[in-house]
Chains A and B, each alone.
Chain A
Amino acid sequence: MSEMWVNMGPQHPMTHGLWNLRVRIEGEVIKDVEPEMGYLHRGIEKISEDRHYNEIITLMDRTCYVAGLAWEQLFIVAAEQALHITPPERAEYIRVLSAEFQRIASHIMWYAAFVQDIGLMTPFLYGMRDRDLILDLFQSYTGGRLTYEYMRVGGVRNDLPLGLTDRCRKVCDWLMDRFVEYDRLCLSSTPFHERCDGLGVLEAPEAIAYGVTGPMLRSAGSRRDLRKDRPYSVYDKLQFDVATATTADVTGRYLVRMEEMRQAVRIIRQCLDWLDDHPGPVMAAQLPRWLGAPYAPVGNEAYLLKRNYPTGVGFSMVEEPHGEAGAYIVNDGGEHPYRVKFRSPVLINIWASKRYLPGYRVADIPPIMGSVDVCVGECDR
């Protein structure tokens, strides 16, 4: 039978965003794939060279729009290193709390979209319902549902409002019950297993060679998690387990993400207890004046204040819901960063599809690519 190339995207229900998967098929069997990105390239790295450090945080929310707070943390860790600033501990705990809630929200969003892909509609409605509860919490202390602009170089913008920790606990209890429900909906469903088991297998050595990270790598049995291996922020003071699976297929990735959500709840509970017992400032006291809290002076004023500030470099890697995100910031002592470079885990995970897609059928593409958890905003930047 003759072969042909098929375009899946940029407008296709499988893609969940703006990208194009070119597939070479022979009959129903996939022979080769070629992802085509860049439909959402917004030049974030270039714009960042024209912005103040605190203004770049605005862009970070838009870079990965399902995990905005995780990307804010990524940038902040690197920027604080480049600018030689240490945040207070309470701010670090609030950041971890936010990042872990964001992980749950992102995984629930993934769950809603992915399970809809394989034909079950109810989980979408359940998922969106529970995600909105987390967004409500974010809204009550950051003010935004999706784009928060909450973290600042040197701390966070404002402290948690009164009574928020108790509301967080209630949401945590609710979510723990819902996770059981999610599992019941999916794992007891025969169509789910028939569409997911044994698909998109990518074993650990290959995954490492192809740079795959995050739940995709952990579903192959690897215990790699930057929160354990190279603890940033206060993760070294918190207890949690690394979620792994052994099957390296779509079901494995599902199980890893579900377990990660439970572990995130565990981390959140520890953070809440700590935050209740340790009131204090959430912004570094010795902040250089040009960075002023909570709003940075702009334009000439900032430039005049900043002269003679030391140069530096910042490098951070963060375990983001999709995988390992990285940032490299060069501070040349000027008003803006000289260069900002981000590593997007999703771009690399998609690129490895050359390895894990060929051999399967066309109808398997939606579950397999769904299990990657694509967020095009951070791929294309």
Chain B
Amino acid sequence: MSGQTPLPAKVPPASAGPSAAIADMPLEVIGQPGVPFVEIETLRAREFIPAAKEALTSLLKEQANGKLIRPVFNWAGRNSLFPLHWGLACCAIEFAAAFGARWDAERFGVVPRSSPRQCDLLIVNGTVTWKVAHKLIALYEQMPEPKWAIAMGNCATGGGPFRTAYSVVPGVDKLIPVDVYIAGCPPRPENLLDGILRLEQLIKERGA
């Protein structure tokens, strides 16, 4: 991701050293929205690690309440969303296809994990029935904060073709808060990737 975007003017030339950009900034500014660590994204990986190390150490040293580290967490968290490995219905097949060879969702840092304790994203990929509703809530509760949810497909959004069925929850937002809705029956893998990128945008703007 980092390689292609043009460097914003604020970042000093690479020769000055990446750490200079952060070390020179007054600490009060770093906490402000918009200014601080957005530029980190444009750093190369090999420059990033020492820079991040330095910044974190200095922040931790100076900041007892941890408020200023938030942008770092925000940046790191939104670029490594771990969804729960859980297939509900048909949309789960497209969910799996998105992790296959052609779409390769892992290049966005999205890696499905099997335990809710390791996840921060619940992708509801299919029809939710009343029988599974309390299990879904339990899984959502088990995920550590901060966490997000994506309703993938028409079923999760509003019941889809099974809206009138006696056993189907008409929309998963009746059970858990949903951040991004993806339309489609099923949505194509591109749609899912788009939804995940939109969620990243949302996290960036709204904060965790």
> B186 near A: Cβ within 8 Å?
yes
Mostly, the B contact residues are loop
Tell whether, in the assembled complex, residue A58 and residue B161 are in contact, meaning their CB atoms are under 8 Å apart.
Answer: yes
> B120 near A: Cβ within 8 Å?
no
Name B residues whose Cβ lies closer than 8 Å to a Cβ of A.
84-90, 92-94, 96-97, 99-102, 114, 116, 126-127, 129, 131-132, 135, 139, 161-162, 164-168, 185-186, 188
> A171 near B: Cβ within 8 Å?
no
Complex-state Cα separation, A322 to B126, whole angstroms: 21
- With a CB–CB cut-off of 8 A, which chain A residues contact B100? 112, 124-125, 127-129, 131-132
Tell whether, in the assembled complex, residue A128 and residue B165 are in contact, meaning their CB atoms are under 8 Å apart.
Answer: no
Q: Smallest CB-CB separation from B160: which chain A residue?
A: A62
Tell whether, in the assembled complex, residue A147 and residue B87 are in contact, meaning their CB atoms are under 8 Å apart.
Answer: no
- With a CB–CB cut-off of 8 A, which chain A residues contact B129? 38-42
Tell whether, in the assembled complex, residue B164 and residue A47 are in contact, meaning their CB atoms are under 8 Å apart.
Answer: yes
Given contacts A41-B167, A147-B90, A377-B89, contact A128 B162 (CB under 8 A): no
- With a CB–CB cut-off of 8 A, which chain B residues contact A39? 129, 131-132, 135
Instruction: Kindly provide the distance from the CB of B133 to the nearest chain A CB, expressed in whole angstroms.
Output: 10
Complex-state Cα separation, A10 to B126, whole angstroms: 14
Q: Smallest CB-CB separation from B116: which chain A residue?
A: A11
- With a CB–CB cut-off of 8 A, which chain B residues contact A376? 89
- With a CB–CB cut-off of 8 A, which chain B residues contact A145? 94, 186, 188
Tell whether, in the assembled complex, residue A42 and residue B162 are in contact, meaning their CB atoms are under 8 Å apart.
Answer: yes
- With a CB–CB cut-off of 8 A, which chain A residues contact B164? 47, 50
> A66 near B: Cβ within 8 Å?
yes
Instruction: Kindly provide the distance from the CB of B94 to the nearest chain A CB, expressed in whole angstroms.
Output: 6
Contact partner, B131, options A16, A41, A47, Cβ 8 Å: A41
- With a CB–CB cut-off of 8 A, which chain A residues contact B84? 11
- With a CB–CB cut-off of 8 A, which chain B residues contact A124? 100
Complex-state Cα separation, A17 to B90, whole angstroms: 10
Q: Smallest CB-CB separation from A50: which chain B residue?
A: B164
Q: Smallest CB-CB separation from A66: which chain B residue?
A: B93
> Apart from A47-B161, A112-B96, what are 4 other A-B pairs with CB-CB below 8 Å?
A39-B135, A42-B167, A43-B167, A47-B164
Given contacts A41-B129, A42-B127, A42-B167, contact A18 B89 (CB under 8 A): yes
Q: Smallest CB-CB separation from A146: which chain B residue?
A: B186
